Chains A and B, each alone.
Chain A
């Protein structure tokens, strides 16, 4: 197992301050949690309810209260993402196709049924998102990013992000994630990790193919533009349109239950 240190999936660590920012963000969440604890002596036990939210408090420590991470940190939001996507990512972390030791270790011994329940819980949340941070990078960079997101580059068989992630970029239920409300550092690192092979998905790994056709500069441009877009209200992912995806994706093809639990 890799060590606790290091950024999640940090294949293209363009911003070394990301970790520090993530820490500060986490500290804020921790303080928020703490204020709950401090609000009344022994109130925790009194208000305890056996809910799935209570069972997965372990997730919101990093991903923010209710799984709604803020755009200024590193950890991605998980609230409101399509359930199939979240389930696939949980399996990818458990089975070490994605690498971040805290995630890998935390869910290493959880079976598919429980991971599906956790995914369904966070997917069911419909929460308003704060506006994005002030755009990063130059206007020209963001324009280049927007062009790639909307049109791709047919000359290189590079599909547009919109082709799979939806025109609104809020994803397509149940397997394709939305691209908005994610920190720029996180987007950079994910595309970089796919490009380098550090992040993997179920085969055929379509995002690896896409990321490998992008240059580091293009990844930076796409991330800068995406991170600057607001999340629309009630940004749920519509059901997938019947038209086929431009490239085959294992995560979309593989219906739930394709893989075994960790204890089989």
Chain B
């Protein structure tokens, strides 16, 4: 029997598909490392374990997604919009609609392997690409705490993802390409403090979920990538933590980094937008020692600006001062930020010498002008100052003009902000 060329090709394709399928399945296998068979048993007393778990759950920023505004803590329900559709954060309380039937092994499997109790794959809006490196003992403590939260009967809503992203095969493919269960390995060349900071930033804090660029499949380059990126859908720009001209803190004193994460304000600026939420829901609750560890780690990141982003900032689109922008500034901004952008210490940020004004993507500036904002209330800053929203006052063109004015004043030389830029961000959440 002689096979035709077409048949050979068909067999070839079939074999390839089969091998690819095997590869995808193999790459999605559970990594059973540190399952209960390792004999990891909780050592601490229940109360201690629960308290430690609460602390870790806060460090992991679980509240923000798993609690609806005004809703019962950790009862889920918040709809997380992604470029692929909506992912609904599930109920984490110990009700039958939540984690009632779960064991600590199940919980560990979710964090470490990104699989639910019944084995189905979880969407990486749940940051298991970071949590996978959690220590088993930490996961157990978190689980013990969640078991202690008042159970709330609240049915999980199904996700609403678009085709083909709603297909299990698509998720399996994604995981085969971008996810491996992993373990946090301490760097013995570095201090225990640095390693603790790395663990908090890369694993629990999942900082790179925002502070990195995602590819077209929504994947980051890994938990060590902190080079900044636009947050999908929200369209706030999470600045690079590895660029001292953006949010890098290589040249900040430790105490100011700690103050910013603990209170939401520091002598060098305050948190706004999604980072304000992080401080409010998570970092304000961390111990000084842990915040110092995060600071030590963040300070150690090399100052390595993104070449393409920097080039865009240096382009000839750099702003020329416009009279319209200056006039708008005098009318709307100078009362608080000062005629020379000097601000009022402790109340209204200076715009002169403020690196946030000059970051190449103008996203955050546009959001601030349109929506205004308060820093979060924290024990260290219980009565924050606020900026009014200008969304109903200024047109897109005017917002562009006034921001371009800022970016050409007081020594700033940043690209101008076009009307189109503003309308793009106005439509975002």
Contacts and interface: CB of A to CB of B under 8 A. Distances in A.
Interface of A: 1, 3-4, 22-23, 26-27, 30-31, 33-34, 36-38, 41-42, 44-45, 48, 50, 52, 54-62, 91, 94-97, 101-102, 104-111, 113-114, 117, 259, 261-264
A3 B371 contact: no
A54 B385 contact: yes
13 contacts: A3-B429, A26-B392, A30-B393, A33-B335, A37-B330, A44-B334, A55-B383, A58-B373, A102-B389, A104-B69, A106-B371, A110-B374, A114-B377
Contact of B334 (A37, A96, A110): A37
Contact of B391 (A48, A102, A117, A262): A102
Given A41-B339, A106-B371, A108-B69, A4 B281 contact: no
Nearest to A105: B371
B347 interface: yes
A114 to B, nearest CB: 5
Interface of B: 68-71, 73, 276-277, 280-281, 284, 330-336, 338-340, 342, 344, 347, 370-378, 382-393, 426-427, 429
Nearest to A56: B386
Contacts of A113: 377, 382
B336 A42 contact: no
Given A3-B429, A109-B377, A62 B388 contact: yes
Contacts of A36: 335
A50 B392 contact: no
B340 A42 contact: yes
The interface residues of chain B, by DSSP majority, are classed as loop
Contacts of B378: 263
Nearest to B378: A263
* Chain A binding surface SS class: helix
A57 B429 contact: no
Contact of B393 (A27, A96, A101, A106): A27
Given A37-B335, A44-B335, A97-B70, A23 B383 contact: no
Given A62-B392, A104-B69, A109-B375, 17 more contacts: A3-B429, A4-B371, A33-B335, A45-B344, A50-B347, A57-B386, A61-B390, A102-B389, A102-B391, A102-B392, A108-B277, A109-B376, A110-B374, A113-B382, A261-B377, A263-B284, A263-B376
A111 B374 CA distance: 11
Given A96-B69, A113-B382, A23 B427 contact: no
A58 B376 contact: no
Contacts of A59: 386, 388
Contacts of A50: 347
Given A106-B386, A264-B73, A61 B376 contact: no
A37 B372 contact: no
B429 to A, nearest CB: 5
Contacts of B429: 1, 3
Contacts of A31: 331
Nearest to B391: A4
B146 to A, nearest CB: 15
Contacts of B332: 30, 33-34, 37
Contacts of A101: 371
Contacts of B391: 4, 102
A263 B384 CA distance: 15
Contacts of A55: 347, 383-386
A259 B70 CA distance: 9
A62 B70 CA distance: 24
A57 B388 CA distance: 7
Nearest to A202: B70
Of A37, A59, A114, the most chain B CB neighbours within 10 A belong to A37
A58 B388 contact: yes
A45 B347 CA distance: 11
A106 B377 contact: no
A262 B389 contact: no
Nearest to A52: B383
Contacts of B340: 42
Contacts of B342: 45
Contact of A263 (B280, B335, B370, B371): B280
B342 to A, nearest CB: 7
B375 to A, nearest CB: 8
Contact of A114 (B281, B371, B383, B388): B383
B383 A95 contact: no
A108 to B, nearest CB: 7
A52 B383 CA distance: 8
A196 B158 CA distance: 25
A109 B371 contact: no
B393 A37 contact: no
Nearest to A95: B70
Contact of B338 (A4, A45, A264): A45
A-B CB proximity, top 5 nearest: A95-B70, A61-B388, A58-B386, A34-B331, A109-B376
Residue of B276, B284, B338, B377 contacting most chain A CB atoms (<10 Å): B377
Nearest to A22: B392
